[in-house]
Structure 1
Amino acid sequence: MTPSAPDVTFIIAAYNAADTLARAIDSALAQTGVSVEVIVADDCSTDETRAVAESYAGSNVRLLALPRNGGPSVARNAAIAEAKGRWLAVLDSDDAVTPERMARLIARAEKAGTQIAVDNLRVIRADGTPAETMFAERTLQETPELTLSAFIRSNALFEATHNFGYLKPVFLRSFIESHGLEFDEALRIGEDYLFLAAALALGGRCVIEPAVGYDYHIREGSISRVLALHHIDDMIEGDKNFLEHHRLDAEAAAAQTFRTRSLHKGRAFLVLVQNIKDRSVFSAIRTAWNDPGALAHLRMPVVARLNRAMMPLRKLTGADTDLPAIDGTTRSSQRIEP
């Protein structure tokens, strides 16, 4: 007799995650009201990550030991190909989920007849400051479903009030398989955004659960915290590839135009910051002249040393402004590293 498929497969891409992997796995196994399998795709870790995963043998946890390091998208795609669950839930190796999360999300999605579900996040910082809820419940209650246009617009760089890109969706596996959806293996940043955007562009509907179900741990030095110039270049290329494969309606197309402009403006801003760090006043003026939109980000506060470095440019332009603190709020928790 063939055993029934589990309700959910947790996909954990892991690379040198020995210190946090057990927390992620334990939280997945602690789900109530649903049956669970966990697939850990180890991306050629050099620490004890594989040993941690192997210690769960016999506990509905499987280890996929990848032959070469390919990045999180490669690891996730490998795990999805092996998944048996009706629903797929991506769980980062340094994060955790609440025990009732999957039962609640599946029930909400099935009641709404959607193929995707997301919920609120709790932000936990490594410095021990009190945890925060990323979105006010009222904000999510007022948005019962996440549309493609709202999702794209919220992911405008340094612009959006609520960045839905941080949401951790769960997907009906049959929907993912029927459309042949995969994470973009050429990307190491922004791949989560494009995966959900593609699912929505293909007609997937996404219901929103306002309650917190995902614990998002922020640690210094993670790629999601450090925004470099090449990251923006990768996002621009990723968007081009997305647009080549998906047709957008008028509302989503307008949102994409807004996001594209923000990426180019953000890129110019990082170049401007580097000019300022280098104390290259004339290069900074040239950058600002070529893309005045970069100056829009100068309205927010930033590190004092950058403000000091910016003084010569201020004197020339008469600007009474500060550089932005990109990680000043939870929803834009990135620092600049051109």
Structure 2
Amino acid sequence: MAEAAIQTICVIIAAKNAADTIGLAVESALREDMVSEVVVVDDGSSDGTDKAALASDDGSGRIKIISFERNRGPSAARNAAIAQSTAPLIAILDADDFFFPGRFAPMLAETDWDFIADNIAFVADPAALSSPARFQSRARTMSLVQFVEGNISRRGKPRGETGFLKPIMRREFIVGNGLVYDEELRLGEDYDFYVRALALGARYKVIEHCGYGAVVRGDSLSSRHRTEDLRRLFEADNAILSQSSLSADARAVITQHRDHIRDRYELRAFLDVKREAGKGGAIRHMLSRPGAIPAVALGIFHDKYDALRRSDAASAASLPTSPRYLLAGVPVGGS
């Protein structure tokens, strides 16, 4: 009985105007026997997200709804949910994603972890995939350096950052280390949270078994980030870099990630000024920031090159007709 109590999970769902998708997310969480709580935070929605979430209640008494009067962002929503929950394990579920049946058992079979994540299937239509491919549940430990390296996107490759992983987290580690999500961040808040946890010594394991379904949408929140969001994200890296306890390898890779995000920020800032103040204003902006000229010039070149290659057909094809998996697992029966 004590072991069962240790294994119970609180699923946290931050939701903004997610009435069309929240039902599937809630139902997939309540379907799992190991889930003792589902906390939905309606982050200032105007479409009845809270009512849609309640409509998926299975009568077990496990669901709780927290409603913000105004939008405060995913970090504030997650902090509020963690504070209101009691289960010893915490799992994050995005409001437009879902769990495959039986997600948690392979993860909880592993030992010696503070965070543990599984594979993700990226799908365009959840109804078209009742179960994911079966991979061996091979486990590996992920270091801070490996995690950050996995969050530096590469041109010409499908996005697959390790920050997309949705681990189960031990409340004891989070609370014991005073970890909270940075409420200034509306982009990369998971990345920042996990990097700070790893810097504090968190044991992060990953298995290749797939239990999480991520729905690919062209209008996701992450695709609508603001220029300011990029600035705050590279400043979050700067805050981590201020820690004297970081190893040289960790410091080098976090610096690389910071510079990658800062280059994206400089391009977006330049384009903002050009749109608002015209070419003359953009030139003056760049003259005031000569160090940003290489990043902006290269970014413009890449954007134009991509535009030449892009077509309506290619854009439509970007939504997968079959699932794509974040981790390259070994199929069951393979070697």
How big is the shift at 1:331?
10
- Measured in 2, the distance between the counterparts of 1:15 and 1:212 equals 26
Cα distance in 2, alignment partners of residues 124 and 18 from structure 1: 19
Cα deviation code 1:53-97 (max 9, x no counterpart): 333173211112234431111111111012122210010111001
- Cα distance, 1:152 vs structure 2: 1.5
Q: How far 1:254 sits from its partner (Å)?
A: 0.9
CA separation of 1:86/1:290 partners in 2, compared to 1, >3 Å: closer, same or farther?
closer
Q: CA separation in 2, counterparts of 1:210 and 1:68?
A: 38
Provide the residue aligned with 1:66 in structure 2. 68
Tell me which of the two structures has the higher relative contact order, counting C-alpha pairs closer than 8 angstroms and 6 or more residues apart. Answer: 2
Identity of aligned residues (%): 29
Contact preservation (8 Å) 2:237, 2:255: no
**In 2 relative to 1, CA 65–223 (structure 1 residues): closer, same or farther, beyond 3 Å?**
closer
1:302: which partner in 2?
Answer: 306
SS at match of 2:109: helix
Distance in 2 separating the partners of 1:126 and 1:273? 34
Tell me if structure 1 keeps the 8 A contact 2:286–2:293.
Answer: no
Q: How does 1:41-56 map to 2 (within 5 A)?
A: 41-55=41-55, 56=57
- Match among 210, 213, 236 for residue 215 of structure 1: 213
Residues 21, 96 of structure 2: 8 Å contact kept: yes
Which runs of structure 2 are paired with 1:160-179 in the superposition (5 Å)? 162-179=160-177
- The farther-off stretch of 241-250 and 276-285 is 276-285
Greater CA drift, 168-177 or 34-43: 34-43
Q: 1:199 to 1:274 in 2, by over 3 A?
A: same
Q: 2:148 aligns with which of 152, 166, 180?
A: 152
d(CA) in 2 for partners of 1:8 and 1:57?
17
How far apart, CA to CA, are the structure 2 residues paired with 1:158 and 1:271?
A: 21
Aligned partner (choices 97, 104, 109) of residue 95 of structure 1:
97
Q: 1-side partners of 2:156 and 2:171: how far apart?
A: 30
Q: Does 1:253 align with 2:255?
A: no
- State the number of aligned residues: 304
Shift, 1:269, TM fit: 3.5
SS at match of 1:270: helix
Letter aligned with residue 38 of structure 1: V
AA aligned to 1:144 is: R
- Residue 187, structure 1, aligned to residue 191, structure 2: no
Determine the C-alpha separation between the residues in 2 that align with 1:249 and 1:234.
Answer: 23
Deviation of 1:245 (Å): 5.5
Change (3 A) 1:151 1:6: closer
Q: Against the structure 1 CA distance between its residues 328 and 68, is the aligned structure 2 distance closer, same or farther, given a 3 Å change threshold? A: closer
Flag structure 2 segments of 5+ consecutive residues without an equivalent: 312-317, 327-335
CA RMSD of aligned residues (A): 4.0
SS of 2:169's partner is strand
Residue pair 1:10, 1:88 contacting (<8 A) in 2 also: yes
Q: Which residue of 2 aligns with 1:119?
A: 118
Q: Secondary structure at the match of 1:247?
A: coil
1:9-54 per-position Cα deviation (integer Å, ceiling 9, x unaligned): 000111211111110011111225x243211111232222111233
Secondary structure of the 2:221 match is coil
Output the CA distance in 1 between the equivalents of 2:146 and 2:32.
30
Structure 1 51/179 Cα, relative in aligned 2: closer, same or farther at 3 Å? Answer: same
Q: TM-score, normalised by structure 1?
A: 0.76
Q: Is the 8 A contact 1:11 1:89 kept in 2?
A: yes
**3-state SS of the aligned residue for 2:262?**
helix
Q: Is the 1:154–1:160 contact (alpha carbons within 8 Å) kept by the matching residues of 2?
A: no
How many angstroms apart in 2 are the aligned matches of 1:58 and 1:37? 12
Structure 1 match to 2:79: 77
d(CA) in 1 for partners of 2:274, 2:184: 31
Q: Counterpart amino acid of 1:118?
A: A
Q: CA deviation at 1:127?
A: 11
Structure 2 CA distance for partners of 1:18 and 1:214, relative to 1, 3 Å: same
